[in-house]
A and B are shown apart, each in its own frame.
Chain A
Amino acid sequence: MATGGTIKIMQGNEACVEGALAAGCRFYTGYPIEPASEIAEGMARQLPPAGGIFVQMEDELASVIALVGASWGGWKAMTATSGPGFCLMQDGIGLAAITETPCVIVDVQRGGPASGQSTAPSQGDVFQARYGANGDYSLIALAPSTSQEMFEFTIKAFNLAERYRVPVIVLADEIVAHTRERVYIPPADQIAVVNRKQPAVPPAEFLTFKPDADGIPPMPAFNTGYKLCVISQVHNEKGFRAKGKEGAALIRRLTDKIEKNAGAICEVEELYTEDATTIVVCYGSVARCARRAVKDAREQGWKAGLLKLNTLWPFPAKQVKAVAARAQRILVPEMNIGRIALEVERASGGACEVIPLPKLDGKCHIPAEILAAIKGGCR
């Protein structure tokens, strides 16, 4: 651990606030909802003294539109919500995707659908995070499992949003949101912060959506001398409505800038995967339970391994495929009906058996449940 930082005891939601501030977020907009409320509370307390702005909007629809506007005003902006609010935000997430607006949306998942279980953990929004808005687009979603990761992944979310000009979803759950743990906060000068690219051309030569060679257009803020044409329709490089090939080029680019950079974006953690016959693929809070189960299994002589997905979208298909080629079985414990298990199946391409371990009762798995599933296979 590097020196000079501080250690604090924080809930995941509080650590998320610290991470956002460290990443340079100075605009928060949202509507309170459990189990995400501590993020709004923390931002309301901490943003004004830091020179930032906190706005409680009338609902989540307005919140997410304000988020997009703030980002175009040059701010690093965030909102946080839970399932029902996340539904309302899909409209604005689509807007952020097509206008290539860097922003961070935290979804502290609760059981669903609809009002669901407001105080129970869930991972039921994993597909909604990826496919919630209409049309073709790609975005990035990260799944923290500890307070420390809530801090670090929130910073990462801002950096990825700025780098790729895309909405980034932090997909937390009630357990990570409310568990108090030690969080190490490094000194500000040791935290890497990415800022959006600025145009290299004078205003007269600038086109709002003309990408550089990396597929990502520079993004000046409004009122900085650059003419900006930002619309929610499919558009050309000038920002005017476009059809046919021009429209197709935009849709292709919105997708490619994320999917073709999956190698750079996707992060996973592996434990004992080299010789494992059974691999547990997991993410979020469930990963902590799985880690315990895998360690217990190893102590009892079972060749178990763990692949923890820190990035959910773009899906780390390459990493899953690699472990699938070596293992006999993959177990996928999730606090939903078996969503990411489908992606794992697709990525593993039949190389090994994929067994979902769904959990729907508003509780996390306990290690013994996963351990029993590990022991259901060959030693």
Chain B
Amino acid sequence: MRQEFVAAGFGSQGIISMGIVVCTAAGLYDNKMVAQNQSNGPVARGGACRTEVVISDAEIDYPRALTPDIMILMSEQARDRYLSEVNPEQGQVLIDSTLVAAMPPQIKNVYRIPATDIAETKLGQRAAAGMVMLGAMAALTGLVSYQGLQAAVRDTGEGDATTVDLKALEEGYAYGRTMLMAREGGAIL
């Protein structure tokens, strides 16, 4: 099965790191084929920023996302620019609800995760919001394993940031698990 993942926001949010972590988790630890790319040039350093990861059981031919199965949006600008790529019935969209307020009603599967709030209040670092989103994504979609994400953060991170990122993953994962249980229990999110 081929699955396409997109994360988008603005430069400095760690969007590209999210792509690298997802790619490493799936490619090295979940034993999938992967192809990851990202915004290149000045846009990645302050403007609109985006990363894509294609994950598949088979060899990947076309390496870019065509109809993302899972999209993480971390700014309203990213929502306005990229949301139209998602199939409104089937796509799963995770938004950082601290930064993205409204979503068009036609998108069926929307998960609202206050990632920047969680990162600020629990970790004291807004920059860890991306890892909160990834933890939640692992819980809610199963695109990559939580253990894979942890290992990938250890592989790609540096020093103290790794500790914070691992904690951020954990917070996000716990938040996602709670959401999932509430949804399975029939509650309206």
Contacts and interface: CB of A to CB of B under 8 A. Distances in A.
A7 B26 CA distance: 13
Interface in A327-369: 364, 366-367
Interface centre among A174, A181, A289, A291 (most CB of B within 10 A): A181
Given A119-B41, A180-B23, A9 B61 contact: no
A292 B36 contact: no
Contact of B61 (A118, A178, A181, A295): A295
A34 interface: yes
Nearest to B44: A119
Interface of B: 19-20, 23-24, 27-28, 33-38, 40-41, 60-64, 66
A288 B38 contact: no
B117 to A, nearest CB: 30
Interface of A: 7, 9, 34-35, 118-119, 146, 174-175, 178-182, 285, 288-289, 291-292, 295, 364, 366-367
A182 B61 contact: no
19 contacts: A9-B23, A9-B24, A9-B28, A9-B36, A34-B41, A146-B63, A174-B40, A175-B64, A178-B40, A179-B36, A179-B37, A180-B19, A180-B34, A181-B27, A181-B60, A289-B61, A291-B62, A366-B62, A367-B66
Contacts of B38: 178
B62 A178 contact: no
Contact of A180 (B37, B61, B62, B64): B37
Contacts of A179: 35-37, 63
Contacts, number: 63
Given A7-B28, A289-B62, A291-B61, A181 B34 contact: yes
Given A7-B28, A9-B28, A174-B40, A181 B62 contact: no
Contacts of A182: 27-28, 33-34
A182 B37 CA distance: 13
A180 B20 contact: yes
Contacts of A291: 61-62
B66 A366 contact: yes
A295 B58 CA distance: 13
Given A292-B62, A367-B66, A181 B35 contact: yes
A292 B66 CA distance: 12
Contacts of B62: 288-289, 291-292, 366-367
A285 B61 CA distance: 10
Nearest to B43: A119
B24 A178 contact: no
B35 A180 contact: yes
Nearest to B156: A9
Contacts of B41: 34, 118-119
B110 to A, nearest CB: 26
B37 A288 contact: no
Contact of B37 (A7, A9, A178, A292): A178
Contacts of B37: 175, 178-180
A9 B40 contact: no
Nearest 4 interchain pairs by C-beta: A119-B41, A180-B36, A292-B61, A292-B62
Nearest to A365: B62
Contact of A35 (B27, B40, B63): B40
A34 B41 CA distance: 9
Contacts of B64: 175, 364, 366
Nearest to B23: A180
Contacts of B60: 181, 288
Contacts of B34: 9, 180-182
A69 to B, nearest CB: 33
Nearest to B51: A180
Contacts of B27: 7, 9, 181-182
Given A179-B37, A180-B35, A288-B60, 5 more contacts: A180-B36, A181-B34, A182-B27, A288-B61, A367-B66
A52 to B, nearest CB: 26
A177 to B, nearest CB: 9
A146 B37 CA distance: 12
Contacts of A295: 61
A178 B60 CA distance: 15
A367 B27 CA distance: 24
Contacts of A174: 40
